[in-house]
Chains A and B, each alone.
Chain A
Amino acid sequence: MGNALKHLIWPLLALLSSMAAASARAEVVVVGNLSMSADALSQEEVKEFYLGKLQRMGDGVAVEVIDLPDGNDTRDEFYLKAMGKTSNQIKAYWAKRVFTGKGAPLRTLPHDLAVMKWVAAKVGRIGYVDANVADDSVKVLLRLP
């Protein structure tokens, strides 16, 4: 029995430590093009942009938002932190919008770096990335710790 415990203890510790690491979720930041007049967005504004209910900034500038693909960790974190929704709930939301002719799901880019490049390239663009990826080529509009 003692030997069996010794064999079990290290895998168990490894499992616990990986669970602890997973629970230390990464910070997600909402980023915008540098030429945007706004320096910050509220969580409610971000939610409305990403649910397709708001298309313009307060100064009238048209906003384009970009998404990450289904199954991406940053995407799951973003929707959970920004609007308390799981990935499946977001899929159901867009399915209903599509079915009723009220919109199409957001366009996607494959990863955070592509989002950074896309946002930096044109005024009015908004995206979200892992906080570790954000740099001074874009403006951080909202932090979701």
Chain B
Amino acid sequence: MKWIGGGLTGGRVAVLAVLLGGIAPVGAEPNIGIFGDVGWADRSALGKASQFGLGALSVYVHDQMDDRTEGFFEYVLEGDGAALNGDLERLYIKRSVGKDLRFGIGRFHSPIGFWNNHYHHGVLMQDTVSRPAFLEFEDNATAVLPTHAIGASLEGEAGAVGYELSLANTVFIDTAAPIAERTLGVGNFFDMADDKALYARVSHEYDDSGAHIGVSYLYNPIVEGAVLGGVDGGSKGQGQLLVEQTVIGVDGRYEHQGFSLMGEYFQISNDAEAGVGDGGSHRSTAYYLQAGYRVAERLLPTYRFESLVFDAQDGFYTMLGREEYTAHVMALRYEFDDSNAMILEYRASDGIAPAANPAQGDSIKLNWSFLLL
């Protein structure tokens, strides 16, 4: 802008402004990015070969279509041990319907707890390579909570208080599948039952460092996904209720002078129908506590403890083939730049059958995550 010179007066600016009339602010071009990660894993504790491997490749597009409407799309490519699979992870449209209030429909990350809505599929934003095992995505053999919701969402803020209310398709389990292959299903294009899952979350942010506390609630009717041959010799038809689940969660995060502390605690109540487990009601708990201290500008060691505890007769867990576990996770993250970081992680877990999920059990991982723009 040196050509303008220092002698430009207000009058001249006005003339130029008239000549430039009609220039309106524009949103940035649609935002397109790719989060990816690659790495190496030592699985000798499992009696398996150490290996290099590709992590997930998450491609996203966001567009602020107008002042009030935004759309978001995310597709993740990841290996299942043999082949590369693609999954539609998020697809939604949201519109402001009032001051600090938005309504949206689509596929979201379910508003339960902090981790699931803060880190999403981007390892680059995590302080550890792994997620807490009980918060893994539904298609993982250690997941116990629905991490995606297909439905409608109302979210907003009142000062430092954020809130979200969502109505979503029911979760289903195909109980005719081999137990090692059973996962929590969420229908992108259908719902097997008229009943719907209800999510509610309220959180309070203390400052822009991410310090907050939050409370989540989930009413989750879990239905049969199998057409034939499900639990109890197929007594439950497709779409019939298996377990009425309610989840209450509390989460918090605190950061101060390089020190960070975060944790989430979930109380999961499962009321099983007759023929599912012992057909009774049981309470279980899942939680993690994670602490880190930034010893240098780019170097962050972190420790996390995880636990999942439930009654052996709880029909929800026996039907899914899940196991109780505890895990200790130690990680050292080095940030080369805002766009790439390397994490060395040691994870020692007790209780999760390695055969059910080779990603779990004792392991050492070196992960290099990045963001391409």
Contact = CB atoms under 8 A, between A and B. Distances in A.
Chain B interface size band reads 35 or more
17 contacts: A53-B208, A92-B338, A95-B31, A96-B122, A100-B117, A100-B125, A101-B72, A104-B64, A104-B70, A107-B28, A113-B16, A113-B17, A116-B17, A117-B20, A132-B6, A132-B8, A133-B8
Interface of A: 26, 48, 53, 66, 73-74, 88-89, 91-96, 98-101, 104-114, 116-118, 129-130, 132-133, 135-137
B26 interface: yes
Given A98-B31, A135-B9, A130 B1 contact: yes
A95 B339 CA distance: 10
A104 B27 contact: yes
Interface string B347-373: 000000000000000000000000101
Contact of A95 (B33, B70, B74): B33
Nearest to A88: B339
Given A95-B31, A95-B33, A133 B4 contact: yes
B20 A98 contact: no
- Which among A66, A98, A104 has the highest number of chain B CB atoms within 10 Å? A98
Contacts, number: 110
A15 B125 CA distance: 42
Contacts of A135: 8-10, 13
B77 to A, nearest CB: 16
Nearest to B35: A99
Nearest to A121: B17
Given A99-B33, A104-B70, 8 more contacts: A74-B1, A88-B373, A92-B373, A99-B60, A100-B120, A112-B4, A113-B20, A116-B13
